[in-house]
């Protein structure tokens, strides 16, 4: 038995996997601690999506060793897959674990204790990418459910295919079993997650088939799609997306509003394709929350490319946009692309876009003032409850009534004050 602490960086998949690691460790009577100093084992689940994420992961590893010199430090996640030599040079890590072996961490720690050889670089032939469950233990009010891993797209700027491997999918029967367990533990919203979620394919079920079977079999559950690539939004998807228990919220990465840049990125669509698909989505669900990602400062992005991006996002009128600086990743095709964009130009463009995004998000929320929504309670602070609506608006409810975390309630969206959204309980 040992005490452990987990630090998680990066995406929803990492969050899901960290919770599963925690669940599996506690099943073996190990104790989860909330700080670095009181534990015997520190687990750091790293991210490598940008150079900044790499740096943050390394800094956290150094900090963990400084705070707890005697702890076993185990590092897993995408940075281990892509830059293990750089991590070895830190000389602070006891155990290295690949993404496919995160399910074996309890056993790996036992191996390390027995051999007492540092560092242990654990390798196995068994892919445990889907040997996860979080249904009995979660730090979240909404349940994450990993159904897919890996990516075959190889966008020119992205290291994730090298870190996560080829696209592969979870057994559909196991998915249905975990959904039942999630429901039995009081969850009313499930977020379907994957590295390239739309590429799900198992036992003749593509992602559309999976979405159809889960939404029809569990009609009282609110399903949310974490992110989906444009190539997977087809007629069949749109027919299923109209189901009432699939949230009116969709995140479709765009990355650039210039066809020239999209081609250099190895993105397999045009801005015309993207705009047409958004138009179709808005015919299916009224006023859905439509969000995206944009990379600013990709090599050779000139003023016309940026102008095209501004024009496109205004035409589409997104609900929210996640903005990223271009981050050159060694080993990708974009790493050596030129001309590079000066940092001061990237900063100027980001500032312009931040103002655009803020205005778009406020405009979207204003559409729902005075309307009835459904909040899922995420946290309680005294008599103030916070949560998300079906269309991904962060809401605040002040009430004397006792509301339950993880449960859904009908509310009326009353006002926006200092960028916070207030609603009143109905019924």
Residues 15-28 pLDDT 10s: 989 988 998 899 89
Token reading at 107? 């056993």
Please say if the pLDDT value at position 228 is more than 80: yes
Say if pTM beats, i.e. exceeds, 0.85: yes
Q: How many CB atoms lie within 10 A of CB 405?
A: 15
* pLDDT, position 138: 59
- Domains in the chain, please, with CATH? 3-122 (3.40.50.12160), 143-366 (3.80.30.20), 372-425 (2.40.50)
Average confidence score pLDDT of the chain: 95
Largest CA distance in the chain: 64
Q: Given strand 222-225, what is the order of strands in its sheet?
A: 168-169, 143-149, 189-194, 222-225
Distance, CA of 278 to CA of 292 (rounded, Å): 11
Give the pLDDT band (50/70/90) at residue 116: confident
* pLDDT, position 136: 60
User: What letters, b where the CB count within 10 A reaches 16 and e where it falls short, cover 294-321?
Assistant: bbbbbbebeeebbebbeebbeebebbeb
> What are 64-92's pLDDT values in tens digits?
999 999 999 999 999 999 999 999 999 99
In the predicted model, what is the mean pLDDT of residues 92-114?
95
Please say if the pLDDT value at position 139 is more than 70: no
Name residue, tokens 């009835």. Answer: 372
Please say if the pLDDT value at position 162 is more than 80: yes
Please say if the pLDDT value at position 354 is more than 90: yes
Q: How many CB atoms lie within 10 A of CB 383?
A: 12
> What are 319-335's pLDDT values in tens digits?
999 999 999 999 999 99
* pLDDT, position 382: 85
């Amino acid at each position: 038995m040992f005490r452990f602490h987990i630090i998680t960086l990066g995406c929803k998949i990492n969050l899901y996997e960290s919770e599963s690691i925690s669940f599996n460790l506690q099943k073996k009577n190990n104790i989860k601690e909330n700080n670095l100093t009181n534990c015997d084992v520190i687990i750091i689940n790293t991210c490598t999506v940008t150079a900044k994420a790499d740096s943050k992961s390394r800094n956290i590893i150094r900090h963990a060793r400084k705070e707890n010199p005697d702890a076993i430090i185990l590092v897993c996640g995408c940075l281990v897959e892509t830059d293990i030599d750089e991590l070895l040079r830190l000389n602070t890590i006891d155990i290295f674990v690949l993404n496919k072996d995160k399910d074996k961490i309890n056993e790996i720690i036992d191996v390390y204790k027995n051999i007492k050889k540092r560092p242990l670089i654990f390798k196995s032939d068994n892919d445990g990418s889907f040997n996860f469950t979080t249904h009995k233990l979660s730090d979240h009010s909404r349940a994450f459910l990993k159904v897919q891993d890996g990516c075959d797209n190889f966008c020119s700027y992205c290291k994730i295919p090298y870190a996560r491997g080829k696209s592969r999918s979870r057994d559909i029967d196991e998915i249905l079993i975990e959904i039942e367990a999630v429901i039995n533990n009081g969850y009313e919203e499930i977020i379907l997650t994957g590295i390239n979620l739309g590429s799900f394919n198992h036992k003749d079920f593509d992602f559309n088939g999976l979405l159809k079977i889960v939404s029809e079999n569990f009609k009282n559950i609110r399903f949310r799609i974490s992110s989906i690539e444009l190539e997977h939004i087809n007629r069949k998807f749109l027919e299923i997306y109209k189901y009432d228990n699939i949230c009116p919220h969709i995140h479709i990465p765009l990355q650039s509003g210039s066809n020239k840049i999209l081609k250099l990125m190895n993105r397999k669509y045009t801005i015309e394709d993207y705009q047409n698909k958004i138009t179709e989505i808005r015919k299916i669900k009224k006023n859905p929350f439509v969000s995206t990602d944009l990379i600013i400062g990709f090599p050779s992005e000139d003023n016309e490319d940026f102008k095209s991006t501004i024009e496109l996002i205004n035409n589409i009128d997104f609900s929210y946009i996640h903005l990223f600086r271009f981050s050159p990743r060694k080993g990708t095709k974009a790493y050596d692309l030129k001309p590079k964009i000066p940092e001061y130009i990237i900063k100027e463009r980001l500032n312009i876009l931040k103002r655009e995004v803020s205005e778009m998000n406020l405009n979207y929320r204003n559409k729902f003032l005075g309307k009835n929504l459904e909040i899922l309670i995420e946290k309680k602070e005294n008599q103030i409850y916070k949560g998300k609506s079906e269309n991904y608006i962060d809401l605040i409810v002040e009430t004397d009534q006792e509301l339950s975390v993880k449960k859904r309630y009908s509310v009326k969206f009353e006002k926006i004050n200092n960028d916070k959204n207030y609603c009143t309980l109905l019924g």
